[in-house]
Structure 1
Amino acid sequence: MSETQLSHEYWMQLAYAQAALAAAQGEIPVGAIIVSQNQIIGQGFNAPISLNDPTAHAEIVALRDACQNIQNYRLPDDAVLYVTLEPCTMCVGALVHSRVSRVVFGAFEAKAGSLVSARQLFETGYYNHVFSFEAGCMQQQCSEQLSAFFKLRREQKRQLRLQEKLLNTQK
């Protein structure tokens, strides 16, 4: 494994830890960090439910944190976003406007991924800024984290339905 791959895995592990914080709050476990000059300048995790904000995806939360920390709406030229799930269309748009230089993501998002999976937004030629990206860093761990979360949610819903059914039969 190259030094660059080791570095990417180091930062992705920190994004993965952010995703675990989201899961602990009942949010879909997606985490993100933004790195510049080997320092974290922004971090965040999915929080649309707890913040009552449909735009509070991990990438957006991390961008807001970074921009507040550096006091600029544009990121430094070397800024890299690490995120555990392929960004959606909204997040790609925000990343373009932030002028991030690179995005490294873990799991692919078949339904809403906008770099590789569902859409390839940069193939449109529309954007005035294009960042490079790397797909699949810690893909298995990131995918398993999401799968485990949704499996638990399904089991919780199943248990709730069983309890409701039991209560209804006791009436």
Structure 2
Amino acid sequence: MIYSILGEDDNKVTMSEVKDDQYWMKVALAFADKAEAENEIPVGAVVVRDGEMIAAGWNRSITCHDPSAHAEMMAIREAGKVIENYRLIDCTLYVTLEPCPMCAGLLVHSRLSRVVFGASDAKTGAAGSIMNLLQHEKLNHQLEVTSGVLGEVCGEKLSAFFKRRRQEIKAAKKLKNGST
């Protein structure tokens, strides 16, 4: 289900915007595939301004030995370099998983206009699932948030990854116990 957390303006989303959101989420999913190919949690993100992708990122925490190397963080860092400004005004971030508190703080500070995410995160989601930092009234910037865009596809990708990872760990333990 595609819906926007905007209050009274929910009905103002046009079909063109829905199609654009789906297109860019598919691009973010392609970057999630890059993360998975590197044995990272498959989350991808793209930053779009004026209908063009200016930056992309995917989870790299394991590869970079950096707990902050989430897809959003990588994409925002690149976008700032591309436009030579840390304020990403009039930019939209598309990300396959709801941002965590760390990334939500980054998004507020970067002054993004909008965030669109796919799958909700019931454990660490900071865009409405466990808290909503992106629209907190006491912060100096609030973002427009659209959630659930290709949410099932994004969620299935994550579920399949973790299922496979659990099977690999189980097989490795079995092999280790059988060889000793």
Identity of paired residues, percent? 45
Residue 5 of structure 1 is matched in structure 2 by 18
Deviation at 1:123, TM superposition (A): 5.9
Query: Which among 133, 143, 158 is matched to residue 121 of structure 1?
Result: 133
Residue 69 of structure 2 is matched in structure 1 by 56
Residue 22 of structure 1 is matched in structure 2 by 35
CA RMSD of aligned residues (A): 1.2
**1:90 and 2:105 are equivalent in the alignment:** no
**Number of equivalenced pairs:** 167
Distance (whole Å) between structure 1 residues aligned to residue 84 and residue 135 of structure 2: 32
Residue 165 of structure 1 is matched in structure 2 by 177
Deviation at 1:2, TM superposition (A): 1.3
Aligned to 1:74, what secondary structure does the other structure show? coil
* Structure 1, unpaired ranges of 5+: none
Letter in 2 for 1:19: A
Q: Deviations over 1:32-53 (max 9, x none)?
A: 0000011111100011110011
Query: Are residues 144 and 21 of structure 1, via their aligned partners in 2, closer, same or farther at CA, if it must alter by over 3 Å?
Result: same
Aligned to 1:80, what secondary structure does the other structure show? strand
**1:152 and 2:144 are equivalent in the alignment:** no
Q: Deviations over 1:113-171 (max 9, x none)?
A: 00111112256422100010001000000000000100110110011011011102xxx
Query: Which among 39, 54, 60 is matched to residue 41 of structure 1?
Result: 54
**1:134 and 2:151 are equivalent in the alignment:** no
Contact 2:105 2:133 in 1 (8 A): no
Specify which structure has the bigger relative contact order, considering alpha-carbon pairs within 8 angstroms and separated by 6 or more residues. Answer: 2
Distance (whole Å) between structure 1 residues aligned to residue 50 and residue 135 of structure 2: 29
**1:67 and 2:80 are equivalent in the alignment:** yes
Letter in 1 for 2:38: Q
Distance (whole Å) between structure 1 residues aligned to residue 42 and residue 153 of structure 2: 12
Letter in 2 for 1:56: A
Q: Deviations over 1:55-105 (max 9, x none)?
A: 100000000010011111111x32000000000111111111110000000
Query: Are residues 103 and 123 of structure 1, via their aligned partners in 2, closer, same or farther at CA, if it must alter by over 3 Å?
Result: closer
